[in-house]
Amino acid sequence: MKHKLTSLLMAILVTVSVCVPTFADDGGDASGDNCGEDYFWQLILRLWCGCGTRDEDAPENQEQPGEPEQPEQPQKPEPQEPEELPAANEPAEDTVSAYEREVARLVNIEREKAGLAPLELDAELSRVARMKSQDMHDRGYFDHNSPTYGTPYQLMKSQGVRYNVAGENIAMGYRTPEAVVSAWMVSPGHRANILKASYTKIGVGYVADGNYWTQHFIG
């Protein structure tokens, strides 16, 4: 019996002396073999009863986690057909195009130079002015009197426009707002309309095909 105990202690000492832990230089967790006091006592248990633990294995009877529930995925919205937009400088009904707005802006710059109040750009009056430009385009004429609507004042009244004073400027062939306003400003009659103090609102109608322009003024 004494011989067996001596052999056992010698085996333990040999194992412990061989299995020395190593550490990282930064003082972190040990790397390499997992030895030390725990290993020493586990080794005694292994030698005496043949049992021990293996950290890399999960216990046999440990309940395994089930499959995680998947969150309900939101339904993708059905694709909508894109709304058809009006072409450049071709405004939808009761709207004002960029070119028409620019004409009104340039007119107000000229009025400011003359010390006059700016004109309000009116969408309904612009719609009526656009009717005149479209009529000149469709009927092939260039005149203040329309074969369809009559005088500018008859056209405005037929569309429900109320006013105390009113005026109209027309032009054809000018491709940009800057060009048409410049042309009007060097013509005495057109300039007088643009700079009339009693006007408070302006409507601008532009038809790109042929570059037909109409300004309606009311006050």
- Per residue in 69-107, pLDDT tens? 443 444 444 544 444 434 444 444 458 999 999 999 999
Q: Which helix (H) or strand (E) holds 203?
A: strand 201-207
In percent, the amount of the chain with pLDDT more than 70 equals 57
Cα–Cα distance, 135 to 150 (Å, whole number):
11
* pLDDT higher than threshold 50 for residue 194: yes
Q: Which helix (H) or strand (E) holds 215?
A: strand 212-218
Please answer whether residues 182 and 133 qualify as being in contact, where contact means their C-beta atoms are separated by less than 8 angstroms: no
Mean pLDDT confidence for 18-22: 33
* pLDDT higher than threshold 70 for residue 139: yes
| pLDDT computed for residue 70 by the predictor | 40
Q: Which helix (H) or strand (E) holds 28?
A: none
| pLDDT computed for residue 87 by the predictor | 42
| Beta-bridge partner residues of 172 | 212
Instruction: Give the contacts of 40 (CB within 8 A, at least 6 positions apart).
Output: 12, 16
Please answer whether residues 202 and 122 qualify as being in contact, where contact means their C-beta atoms are separated by less than 8 angstroms: yes
The pLDDT tens digits for 179-189 are 999 999 999 99
Q: What is the pTM of this model?
A: 0.59
Please answer whether residues 197 and 123 qualify as being in contact, where contact means their C-beta atoms are separated by less than 8 angstroms: no
Cα–Cα nearest to 185, from 165, 197, 205, 171 = 171
Cα–Cα distance, 169 to 218 (Å, whole number):
12
HSE-up (13 A, CA, CB side) for residue 130? 22
